[in-house]
Structures are given as structure tokens and as C-alpha cells.
Amino acid sequence: MWNADNGNCLNVFSGHDAIVTCGDFTPDGKTICTGSEDATFRIWNPRSGESIHVVRGHPYHTEGLTCLSISFDSTLAITGSKDGSVHIVNITTGKVWLLQEID
């Protein structure tokens, strides 16, 4: 993570096994969420760089993530994948719900 004002590196987030394809801060600024080609969704502490939750495997996506959106209250993320599924993830607990599968 870089400081856009002065170009200094603030933190490095390590954990995904493939390229990161989507990511965003929660609106409250307390958390970063990222999705990757490795079909994982990670929830990070931006200050420490620690991975708080890693969401992977059944019942989650089986192919790389393509997009994510975070709720205005910073509690939920919606993720989409190349596998045609859409999931809702509770950012606090890491719990997953299947929202939609597209054939």
C-alpha cells in the first residue's frame, strides 16, 4: 500500500497465490478486501498488513474472482467470479452465502 501524497510504501500485503484482480477499502477505512485469480477473498488489517480472514474452498468460488463491492456500512462484501457465481461475505466473521449461480 502506497501513500499517494509522498510515494512512500506503507505496507505490503502477502498471502494470495496469484495476481490480485480486485480490491477496495471498506467505507469506514478500517479494513481492506482483496480478491484474486487464486479464487480467494482476503480481509486485511491495513495498519498491520495481517490477513484477518481468508475465504476459499466450498462453498466459495472455484475460479478466480473478477469483482467485489462493499456495503456502505462496511459489514458485507459481494464477490463475483469467473465460475459464474456471486457470493456475499460477512467481513467481520468471514461467513459466506451463495447469492447467485449463472449458467
In tens, the pLDDT along 17-38 reads 999 999 999 999 999 999 999 9
Q: What is the pTM of this model?
A: 0.89
The Cα 14–Cα 70 span in angstroms is: 21
Contact 31, 45 (CB under 8 A): yes
pLDDT in tens, 65-85: 999 999 999 999 999 999 999
Q: In which band, very low, low, confident or very high, does the pLDDT at 103 lie, cut at 50, 70 and 90?
A: low
> In the numeric block, which cell numbers belong to residue 46?
491495513
Residues 6+ apart with CB under 8 A from 15: 42, 51, 54
Buried b (16+ CB within 10 A) or exposed e, 33-64: bbbbbbbbbbbbebeeeebebebeeeebbeeb
20-101 fold: Thrombin, subunit H (2.40.10)
DSSP symbol at 13: -
**Domain boundaries along the sequence of the chain:** 20-101
The Cα 33–Cα 100 span in angstroms is: 20
User: Does a cis peptide bond (omega within 30 degrees of 0) precede residue 27?
Assistant: no
